[in-house]
Amino acid sequence: MGSVPNKKVIVVGAGMAGLATAFRLRQAGVEVTVLESSHRVGGRVATDSRDGYVIERGAQLISSTYKNALGLVKELGIKSELKPTSPWLAIVKDNVPRRLPSGATFPIYALTSGLVSVADLGRFIWHTTKLRWPPVDNYAAWSEYDDEDTASWCKPRMGRATDYLVEPLVAGGLLVAMEETSRAMTLATLALTDNGRTREMTLSRGMGTLPEALASRVNVKLEAPVQIIEVGENGVSVQLSGERLHADHVVLATTANIASRLYPGGDELERKLMATEYASTVRISLATSRNWRDDPILKNVWGFLIPRPDRKLVVSATIESAKDPGRVPDGEMLNLIVDSKVASAMLDLPDERIVDAVLPDIERYFHGATSTRRFAQVGRLPQALPKSPVGRSRDLAAYRSSRPRGQRVLLAGDYMGMPHFESAVETGMWCANRILGASA
Ligand SMILES: Cc1cc2nc3c(=O)[nH]c(=O)nc-3n(C[C@H](O)[C@H](O)[C@H](O)COP(=O)(O)OP(=O)(O)OC[C@H]3O[C@@H](n4cnc5c(N)ncnc54)[C@H](O)[C@@H]3O)c2cc1C
C-alpha cells in the first residue's frame, strides 16, 4: 500500500458513516477531510441537554450485536461510558402493556404475558431460527431473502405472532409498514436483535459522544455545505460556496436525497440507490415531574411498543430513566416516536399542536403525563430512516460487486445498508477499504 498516504480523500457528511470512513482512512495514513454542512457532527446521532435531562435527537441505543460501533467505542477510549439499559420492554395488546425481558426468557414472557399463543410462538421461532443469518451489518449480504414483502411472507407462516412480535419491530424499529418492507430487512433486523436476546446499551453523556469522539480524531470542517461533486479525468472536484477542492476520491455520506442532488453524474444503479425513499417521524421528548417506576405494569421498562391494533399516533417510546438513571435529574423523560404515516402529515404543524395531539394518546398508558409535564421538545425528521422495499438488498449487492477499482465517488450511509448506525459505519468502512484496496 505504498501509494496510499499520497491519496487525498474528501468525505461529504459528518454522520456516523462519513466519520467512520474518515477514521479508518486516517488510521491508514491517508489525507482526508470531512465536509459537514451543519454546525455540529453526528447527523442523526446527536444529543442535547436541557435542565439536566439528556435528550437524544436521533439514535437511542447501541446493541450488544453492534460489532463495528462497539469496536469504535473501545478504540476511542469511551468504553467506560457504556451503560446497559434495564432489560425490560413492553408491547401493548388490548390496551395493556405486556412486560418482556430481553434474553433467553423472552419467549416464555411472550407466552405468559398473553402476547402470543403457544402455537404462534412456536411458528415464529421455527420460521426465524431455521434460517441462515448473513452478517447483521451488511444488507447487501441478505439478497437471497429479498424476494417478498414482510406481510405476505409472515402472515401465512406466523399467525398472530406477526401482529405482536414482527409488526411492532418493523413499525417501531424501522418506521415502516410490513407491506412496504422486504422480508430481508425484517429478518436482518430480527437477526440484529438476536430474536429478542440482545442487551441494549447507551452512552452516559448521550449517543452524540460517539460521533464527537470520532470527529476529534479526524479533520472536519463544519458549516461547509457541498454544492456539487464532479468527476474529471484526474480526480474529483468538490464545489463549496466560494471554494473548489480536489481529491483522488470522494466518499459521499449524506442521506440519499441530498446525495442525488450533489452527484448528478452517477450511473443508473447509483441513481436508483440515491432515489431511496425515507420514512418520516416526529420525536417528542417529554419531561414530567412524575415517573412510572412503581407502576407494576411499567416497572423498569425502557422500551415501549404499540402494535397496529392499538396504535393511534405514537408507535414507540423510550423511558429514559430505565435506559440510564443518570439521564433524568428527577421525574421522567419520555421519548415519544410518532408513527411514520401520521408524522408525514404533522411535519408542518407548530410544536404546540403536535404536543397537544400526542399527549392524550400516551395518557392511555402513562397516566398523569399531561398534568405533570415540565417541557416538551419536538424534533421533525422528514428523512428519519431509509425504506427497504423488495429489491434494495439485491441492488446493494449489485453495487458492491460492480464498482470498478479506482472508482472516484463512493456512496456511504444507512441507505447503502440498514437503517441503524452499525450498518452506516459498515458502509463507511467498506468505502474506506475499497479506496485502500484500490491504492494497493
Ligand atoms: C428517531 C431515530 C432513532 C434512531 N435510533 C437508532 C438506534 O437506537 N440505534 C441505531 O443504531 N440507529 C438508530 N437510528 C438510525 C441512525 O441514527 C442512522 O441510521 C445513522 O445515524 C445514519 O448515519 P449516516 O451517516 O448514514 O447519515 P446522517 O446521520 O444523516 O449523516 C449525514 C450527514 O451529512 C450532512 N450533510 C447533508 N448535506 C450535506 C452537504 N451538502 N454537505 C456536507 N454535509 C452534508 C448532514 O448534516 C449529516 O451530518 C435512529 C434514527 C432516528 C431518526
So where are the chain's domains? Answer: 4-46+208-277+389-439, 82-202+278-386
Q: Domain 82-202+278-386 falls in which CATH fold?
A: Polyamine Oxidase; Chain A, domain 2 (3.90.660)
Q: What is the pLDDT of residue 106?
A: 85
Spatial distance between the Cα atoms of 111 and 158, rounded to a whole number of angstroms: 14
Ligand 1 centre and the CA of 159: distance in Å?
A: 35
Ligand 1 centre and the CA of 13: distance in Å?
A: 9
Q: What is the pLDDT of residue 31?
A: 96
Spatial distance between the Cα atoms of 335 and 302, rounded to a whole number of angstroms: 10
Q: Which atom of ligand 1 is nearest to the CA of 227?
A: 41
Average pLDDT over residues 211-235: 97
Establish whether residue 43 lines the binding site of ligand 1, counting it when its CB lies within 6 angstroms of any ligand atom: yes
Give which of 138, 148, 147, 244 is closest to 191, Cα–Cα.
138
**Beta-sheet pairing, 8-12 with 31-35:** parallel
For residue 379, the cross-strand partners are 283
Given a cut of 90, is residue 132 above it in pLDDT?
A: no
Nearest CA residue ID for atom 30, ligand 1: 43
- Give the pLDDT band (50/70/90) at residue 361: very high
Q: Which atom of ligand 1 is nearest to the CA of 66?
A: 11
List, for residues 255-298, the tens digit of each pLDDT value.
999 999 999 999 999 999 999 999 999 999 999 999 999 899 99
Spatial distance between the Cα atoms of 146 and 342, rounded to a whole number of angstroms: 27
CA angle 232, 233, 237 (to 5 degrees): 30
Ligand 1 centre and the CA of 17: distance in Å?
A: 8
Given a cut of 80, is residue 3 above it in pLDDT?
A: no
Quote the mean pLDDT of the chain.
95
Cβ 252 vs Cβ 410: under 8 Å: yes
All three cell numbers of 220, joined, read 472536519
Ligand 1 centre and the CA of 16: distance in Å?
A: 7
Q: What is the pLDDT of residue 2?
A: 45
Cβ 375 vs Cβ 50: under 8 Å: yes
Given a cut of 70, is residue 438 above it in pLDDT?
A: no
How many alpha carbons lie under 13 Å from residue 48 in its C-beta half-sphere?
Answer: 13
Spatial distance between the Cα atoms of 57 and 434, rounded to a whole number of angstroms: 32
Pick the CATH number of 4-46+208-277+389-439 from 3.50.50.60, 1.20.120.1200, 3.40.50.1220, 1.10.10.2520: 3.50.50.60
Spatial distance between the Cα atoms of 425 and 122, rounded to a whole number of angstroms: 35
Ligand 1 centre and the CA of 119: distance in Å?
A: 39
| Sheet bearing 409-411, strands edge to edge | 219-221, 31-35, 8-12, 249-252, 409-411
Ligand 1 centre and the CA of 117: distance in Å?
A: 38
Q: Which atom of ligand 1 is nearest to the CA of 414?
A: 26
Average pLDDT over residues 186-209: 91
Ligand 1 centre and the CA of 420: distance in Å?
A: 9
Which of 64, 420, 422 to mutate to test ligand 1, by most ligand atoms within 8 A of the CB atom?
Answer: 420
The count of other CB atoms within 10 Å of the CB of residue 78 is 18
Nearest CA residue ID for atom 37, ligand 1: 254
